[in-house]
Structure formats: C-alpha cells, structure tokens
Structure 1
C-alpha cells in the first residue's frame, strides 16, 4: 500500500494511459487503484471548493469535481468515454434513455461513495446528485477535450436536448430550471 498520494503523478499516469490502445480500460485500472485508498487520496488533495481542470489536451481531460450537498447536475452527455473516481462524500448517478415520446426515462442508478469508481460509455446520458451531508469530490477523466466537444444538456422535465453551454447549464441548475 502507498504511504502517500501524488496528484501530479496521478495526472501524469492518466495522461499516459489515455494514449493506450484501450484507453477507457487503462484509465479505469488507474482510477480503481487510486481510489482504493480514498482516505490517502483525500488527505493529499485539498477541497478546492469548485470544479477545476487539472489537465486537458486532445487525448484526455482530467477534472477535479466538487459537488455540494443536494446539488444536482442536470442530465447531460459527454460524447466520449469517462471514468469517475470518488474520494470524498457520495454521489448518485442517474442514467437515462430516450423515451418513445422524446422525453427521458430513468434506466439505472449508481451510487458512488469514497473509494468507488465508475466507467461511462460515450453515448450515456446521466445526471449527478451529491447525496452526502458533506461535499462530494472526485476525479473525472474523459477520453478527449471535453471543453470543445459539442454535447447536450437535457431538460429533466421535457427531455428536450439543448446545447451544453454555460447559460443553459446555469438555467437548468436553478430550482425553477
């Protein structure tokens, strides 16, 4: 077992894994190993209090994610594979499929606590809710440049797809969104 966790070293290892032939599996192996000692990871990574891009290029985006208690990120897609590792708190991922009427229907739910990891395929639609009484922190890794890909948010009431941009995100994050 490691005696310390090095965030910069982890980011470098993820960058290398993203170049492998089966990047999603290589990234998941690294994430499983890193979060297996979530206490060590949490002690080494400060709570930055907001999302932070740790690294991004055309092969990989590595984010520190921060969700406050009760916060729900509206349904969205990534258009690329992703690996999530939680090292503090707890989050619920609600997965959706398109319903015959054009709306969304919930198809699965996965709860991640400190020490858990999850792989998400490129066509997945999911929403994330912090279900712990304390903030939930994790490392989210995407197999491409997340900030420039065209992707969608989905109105949770109607299922209507809208462009994923800051204005739409903020509108759906409001309680009346």
Structure 2
C-alpha cells in the first residue's frame, strides 16, 4: 500500500485564475507547455509511396530514355481509342447484366418469402448469388477478350469468334515474349 501511495501522482489542480467557467476552454499550464515544446518534425509526413517520391534529374533522364526506347520498338502494344471504348462497353455489359440479375433475384426471393408465397430454402439465394456474381466477375475477362482488337472490324454481338481469336493471340504473344 505504501508503494501505491508513494508512486501516485498528484491530482490535476488548476490555479485560481484558470478556474472553470462556461464557454472557456481551460488547458493545464503543464499540458500547454508540452504542446508548445513538441518537436516540429512530428507533424511532417514521413512516408513516401513508391513512384511518388522526389524526382531527381537522373531519374527524369532515365525515364525519358525508357519512353523513347518503348516508342521506337513497335506500336503493337498500343490499342486504338475506338477499340478501348468498345472494350469498356462490353465489359460494362458483361459485368452489369449478371450483377443486376443477381440483385433482382435476391430482391425477388425476399419479396416471395415476405409475402409468404413460398418458403425459399436458404441454399437457393446462395446458389443464385454465387452464380450471378461469379459470372459478373468473369465478365471483365470476357468483355476484354470478346472485343474485336481491329480498328475497322466491329465484331459480332456476343463476340464468340473474337474471343476465340483473341485468346489464341494473347497466348501467342505470351509465348513469343518468353
């Protein structure tokens, strides 16, 4: 007990001029002194994300050389703006339709169960959610593969022929680079 009493700090006591009154914020003088004496470097950001640090003249020159080398090789890796826009539309459709279907089915199952028309088993919403959201996730890959990568050729509605052709082309490039 003696140890606890001797190690105990004195309670915070405010001197008479700092007495509490409504509308006035009171900071203890010792706390204020600690705030004033804080080192200024604690308020600076110490983290630098990769790629967002300071650029030195050497790194600027190196990146310019790399860009020139990439531009001088070939333009094969560059997709035209028309193809990119087509690809975005296909991806949005391939992701949006299954996603909207899954959400609509969940809403439908909820209404049916709420109206007590049919006691929907728990596995049915789970299965439909798994299938529709899974198809939505695969829609990103299918949307980009089913787009015609040729500027002049628009492609078919479903893009099955383009998907077959682009799949082979994608793996051919992968094998050529290795």
Scaled by the length of structure 2, the TM-score of the pair is 0.21
* Higher percent of residues as strand: 1
Structure with bigger gyration radius: 2
Larger relative CO (CA 8 A, sep 6+): 1 or 2?
A: 1
